[in-house]
Structure 1
Amino acid sequence: MRDGIYRLRFQSPLGWGTGVLHIQGGRVWGGDGGFYYTGTQGHEGNRVTLEVRTYRHSQGRGLQTIFGQDEVHVRLIGTPDGDRIMCEGTADEVPGAQFIVELTWLTD
């Protein structure tokens, strides 16, 4: 996984959303209209791993979380395919919840 800015699309049984991530030197920052994210990025063999915490920054209509709560510790694992990475995810605070995330590289 190369450093840069990524578009992210995520979906769970509770809904879907979009946002952006910036990855630089193993650190992750990002957000969307209602939340910001911070975390780390690593590797397990040829797979990419991300550990990210979500935090609410704004209230408003349409700014709902796909987890049912604002602050969660998300774990993602996926395999890069060109500029795209499809990841499967879990959230520590929502046992049994699974979701998918598509990361698409945009620019450095």
Structure 2
Amino acid sequence: MLQGLYKVEFETPRRKAAGVIFANDGKLRGGSSAFAYVGSFQQTGYTITGVVTVTQHTNDPDHPSVFGINKVRIDFQGAEKDGLASVDGTAAEAPSLHFKAVLTRIGD
């Protein structure tokens, strides 16, 4: 079950980035030094679906958006098993850029 604190590594064809995200009771909250992540998810068995909004909170040229946009809404789907999740998705604001993320559980 997707629950706890996770390291999240994600990418689009533009670039890669990383942050942390906390999953609890269907909610996702997290961020990095430049972005905040807020969303929700549903899990049935190993299958995960959800949505997360990523908003830039600090203009940091060393940490640009993987989409090239400072606020996006990402719809995603994937699978979770034994503290590791892999998801794919797209952002409504940049539908041609495929999004991929790997979440690795690091704590409760």
**Do they fold alike, i.e. is TM over 0.5?**
yes
Q: Unaligned regions of 5+ residues in structure 1, if any? A: none
| Shift of residue 2, structure 1, vs aligned partner | 3.1
**Superimposed CA distance per residue, residues 23-78 of structure 1 (whole angstroms, 9 cap, x where no aligned partner):** 11111100011100111011256311121001111112212001110110011211
Partner of 2:101: 101
Matched position secondary structure for 1:95: strand
Correspondence list, 1:16-95, <5 A = 16-43=16-43, 46-95=46-95
Structure 1 vs Structure 2: percent identity of aligned residues?
A: 28
Matched position secondary structure for 1:51: strand
TM-score (norm 1): 0.92
Structure 1 pair 64/31, CA: closer, same or farther in 2 (3 Å)? Answer: same
Distance 2:6 2:59 in 1: 24
TM-score (norm 2): 0.92
Distance 2:2 2:66 in 1: 27
Matched position secondary structure for 2:96: coil
Letter of the 2:23 partner, please give it: I
Q: Unaligned regions of 5+ residues in structure 2, if any? A: none
Displaced runs of 4 or more, over 2 A: 43-46
Structure 1 pair 44/90, CA: closer, same or farther in 2 (3 Å)? Answer: farther
Matched position secondary structure for 1:64: coil
Aligned-pair RMSD on alpha carbons? 1.3
- Matched pairs, number: 108
Distance 1:37 1:85 in 2: 17
